[in-house]
Structure 1
Amino acid sequence: MKKGYKVTDVQREKKIGVAAENLEELILKSCKKLGFNVEGPGAGECRLFVAEDGTRVDDDDYLGTLPPQTLFILLKSTETMVTDFDFYYKMIRSTRKEFIDTGAAAHEFLSTDIKEKFKVFQRYIAANSDARTMLSERVQDPAWFQGLEPSEKTKEQSMSKRVKERMKGYYYKTKSALQSSELNISSKNSRGKKLIDQFLVDLRKILESNKYNESYFNRKADQHARLCNENGLFECGGLWSNDKCVYEGDHVINPYRSREERIIFQTWNLDHKIELSRAIIPNILKAIEGLHNGDIKCITCESSVKQGAVEADRYYLQIFTRKNLKLVHIVCHHKGRHDADSGVYTVCKKCSRSQSIEYNS
């Protein structure tokens, strides 16, 4: 079934509507309508990204999770993705001249390193009036919703949607890694594929039952379920290994205040203290391989058994919840290796029936 999408080029100069059933059709039609002068196999060199957060769309499964009218950026093979920060900074600079000086001040701003850029940028935005911060509905503050889907009627609904998108991204990253593993693709290991498929089903059920933790960015959610205060102010949690941010007072943001701050908030990360790619996913594979080989160590009773289950609950907590996620400013997002490990969480049949894990965190 075809869905309608919006597509633009890297300069955001021309926006088109495209109805497509799959990724290949979407790229081919977009190339033609945008005048990229590539046809047939040549269109395969073009790449498609979600305009809002820069996520690359590279398979039909992920495309299917995105709602109709999602805005994409289509890049030729020779083009480079322009980040939201760079693009919208230029836009704001041209339209908000009362906040950003020209000439020598602009030159000085652009010559500083990334840390100083964000500090100065946030000071300019803080100069905006706070009068509209507590407004919630689209009809009350239409400027805040510019560029968002018409179905997003309140700021809280929109921010909850942003959380769900991030959580879906973590799920599909996990799914892609497991399905590309040797255990899954080997024709001799059909049982291994079934175990991976079952784990992914279990993981998704837990995620869906917790509504993708949509309360994290919702300022009207219970105070124990959200990451901001009742006004929508978020504070950086600091480096993954620290208890708090060393830039106290500087690394704060309120995406409910203005469209500009909402856009900049996209550069803040939900950082995995125990890393998803380097630690969690490899241990998930070890747990599934243990089931496949009949070599299981129950983490509850410590018995060695041949049959049991992967404890998806614990991996859910590490991938999707605040037990392992920390909201951080881009400066505090350490991309090097974290000295923290996951575990191989398998349980015997007896213990799997007695497990009770709290998800609220």
Structure 2
Amino acid sequence: MKKGYKVTDVKREKKIGVAAENLKELIEKSCQKLSFNVSCAECRLFVAEDGTQVDDDDYLATLPPQTLFILLTKKQKMVTDFDFYYNLIRSSKKDYIDTGVAAKEFLNTNIRDKFKVLQKYIAAADDAKTLLSDRTEDPNWFEGLELSEKTKEQSMCKRAKERMRGYYYKTKTALKSSDFYIHSKNGHGKQLIDKFLIELQKKLESNSYNGSYFNRKVHSNYRLCSDSGLFQCGGLWNVDKCSYNGEHVINPYRSREERIIFQTWNLDHKIELSRSIIPSIFKAFEALQLGNCFCISCEESHSDGNIDTDRYYLQIFTRENLKLVHIVCHYKGRHDDTSDVYTVCKTCSKQRF
């Protein structure tokens, strides 16, 4: 079934509407309508809002109708909507230069002090609207969101799913762009990675991309907030609780301002995705390719086996390794906790199911 999308080029001077059933059709029609003088094979498609590359039909299917895409040639560099319009303001709107610079610096310097300003928006919010849910009841809360988002819970669920998809595509991009994938002998490495990614995505789909994390109406075991939608910071990655004595709390269900500010809160990987989890996945693949499978279940060495997708799924996508934190408590330096090589022999793998 075809869906309608919006597509523009790097200059954003012209937006076109395109109805397409798959990624190939979307790129082909976009090339034609935007008068690109290159073959479709040389073009790439990106989500305008956050710069994520759309490289398969599965990801395209998750995006809502009327999503705006940027079509680029291989030589062009992707610029997100924020950076594009920020640079436009700086270059051509003299009256807004000082404001634009200040806004960008706001989140780059003296974060602890600056976020005290944001707390004023939180303090000024109207508690009477917190428990309202439908768009018709609190229309101001939904300003700027897709019309398909009818309730606050649906919208917050969508935000959680977007974060999970981001982790998936970050993992997928790292694995598929590696030498292990591209130059694997007899294509064995490619097969291992493709199988792993399919299994990982199936687990995400079976758990509805963990959208329950931000949904206040699901069972308390599956969400990160209270019944009213209040979220509390978990503190630095290596501590049990936040040290700011109740200051780092937020209820994005209460007002549009808090919903926007909540985007600055991070789902922090205690064991880091890029620095530890993905490298350990590569080590697991390399061990399997060499016929050296140490099974984490029976604790014996085998010549054949599989990567333990369940173990890596838990580390990438679940609260076993994710902690919701205020930006002040998001430590960007190297974490000491590390992932490991998780492989299982075929016998133990079968016994799990």
1:225 matched to 2:222? The reply is: yes
**Does the Cα contact within 8 Å between 1:232 and 1:256 map onto a contact in 2?**
yes
The CA distance in 1 between the partners of 2:107 and 2:294, in whole Å, is 55
RMSD: 3.6
1:150 corresponds in structure 2 to: 147
The CA distance in 2 between the partners of 1:16 and 1:24, in whole Å, is 12
The CA distance in 2 between the partners of 1:190 and 1:300, in whole Å, is 28
**Does the Cα contact within 8 Å between 2:235 and 2:242 map onto a contact in 1?**
yes
What secondary structure, in the 3-state scheme, does the structure 2 residue paired with 1:270 have? strand
User: CA 1:118 to 1:7, structure 2 compared with 1: closer, same or farther past 3 Å?
Assistant: farther
1:324 corresponds in structure 2 to: 321
The CA distance in 1 between the partners of 2:177 and 2:109, in whole Å, is 41
**Does the Cα contact within 8 Å between 1:163 and 1:214 map onto a contact in 2?**
yes
1:206 corresponds in structure 2 to: 203
1:179-194 equivalences in 2 (<5 Å): 179-186=176-183, 188-194=185-191
What secondary structure, in the 3-state scheme, does the structure 1 residue paired with 2:220 have? coil
> Of residues 248, 253, 258 in structure 1, which corresponds to 2:250?
253
What is the count of residue pairs matched by the alignment?
A: 329
- Amino acid in structure 2 at the alignment position of 1:350: T
Deviation at 1:248, TM superposition (A): 2.5
The CA distance in 1 between the partners of 2:253 and 2:29, in whole Å, is 33
The CA distance in 1 between the partners of 2:46 and 2:51, in whole Å, is 9
Deviation at 1:233, TM superposition (A): 0.7
**Does the Cα contact within 8 Å between 2:48 and 2:80 map onto a contact in 1?**
no
> Of residues 52, 56, 60 in structure 2, which corresponds to 1:56?
52
Deviation at 1:190, TM superposition (A): 1.0
- Amino acid in structure 1 at the alignment position of 2:325: V
**Does the Cα contact within 8 Å between 1:236 and 1:329 map onto a contact in 2?**
yes
**Does the Cα contact within 8 Å between 1:184 and 1:193 map onto a contact in 2?**
yes
1:70 corresponds in structure 2 to: 67
2:312 corresponds in structure 1 to: 315
- Amino acid in structure 1 at the alignment position of 2:244: Y
The CA distance in 1 between the partners of 2:245 and 2:173, in whole Å, is 37
What secondary structure, in the 3-state scheme, does the structure 1 residue paired with 2:222 have? coil
**Does the Cα contact within 8 Å between 2:51 and 2:80 map onto a contact in 1?**
no
1:348 corresponds in structure 2 to: 345
> Of residues 288, 301, 306 in structure 1, which corresponds to 2:285?
288
1:4 corresponds in structure 2 to: 4
The CA distance in 2 between the partners of 1:237 and 1:13, in whole Å, is 44
**Does the Cα contact within 8 Å between 2:27 and 2:45 map onto a contact in 1?**
no
The CA distance in 2 between the partners of 1:27 and 1:208, in whole Å, is 29
2:98 corresponds in structure 1 to: none
User: CA 1:132 to 1:72, structure 2 compared with 1: closer, same or farther past 3 Å?
Assistant: farther
- Amino acid in structure 1 at the alignment position of 2:67: T
The CA distance in 1 between the partners of 2:144 and 2:47, in whole Å, is 16
Identity %: 65
User: CA 1:327 to 1:111, structure 2 compared with 1: closer, same or farther past 3 Å?
Assistant: closer
What secondary structure, in the 3-state scheme, does the structure 2 residue paired with 1:134 have? coil
The CA distance in 1 between the partners of 2:29 and 2:266, in whole Å, is 29
Structure 2 gap ranges (5+)? 88-102
**Does the Cα contact within 8 Å between 1:49 and 1:74 map onto a contact in 2?**
no
1:173 matched to 2:170? The reply is: yes
1:262 matched to 2:253? The reply is: no
- Amino acid in structure 2 at the alignment position of 1:171: Y
1:12-161 equivalences in 2 (<5 Å): 17-19=17-19, 22=23, 24=27, 40=37, 48-51=46-49, 54-57=50-53, 59-60=55-56, 62-71=59-68, 82=82, 113-161=110-158
Give the TM-score normalised by the residue count of structure 2. 0.80
1:236-251 equivalences in 2 (<5 Å): 236-251=233-248
Deviation at 1:261, TM superposition (A): 1.2
**Does the Cα contact within 8 Å between 1:136 and 1:154 map onto a contact in 2?**
yes
The CA distance in 2 between the partners of 1:307 and 1:16, in whole Å, is 52
2:212 corresponds in structure 1 to: 215
User: CA 1:162 to 1:78, structure 2 compared with 1: closer, same or farther past 3 Å?
Assistant: closer
The CA distance in 2 between the partners of 1:77 and 1:194, in whole Å, is 30
- Amino acid in structure 2 at the alignment position of 1:125: I
The CA distance in 1 between the partners of 2:272 and 2:180, in whole Å, is 21
The CA distance in 1 between the partners of 2:252 and 2:322, in whole Å, is 19
Deviation at 1:154, TM superposition (A): 1.0
The CA distance in 1 between the partners of 2:48 and 2:272, in whole Å, is 24
- Amino acid in structure 2 at the alignment position of 1:340: D
The CA distance in 1 between the partners of 2:137 and 2:267, in whole Å, is 30
Deviation at 1:297, TM superposition (A): 0.7
Single out whichever of 60-69 and 231-240 deviates more from structure 2. Answer: 60-69
The CA distance in 2 between the partners of 1:211 and 1:129, in whole Å, is 32
What secondary structure, in the 3-state scheme, does the structure 1 residue paired with 2:262 have? helix
1:91 corresponds in structure 2 to: none
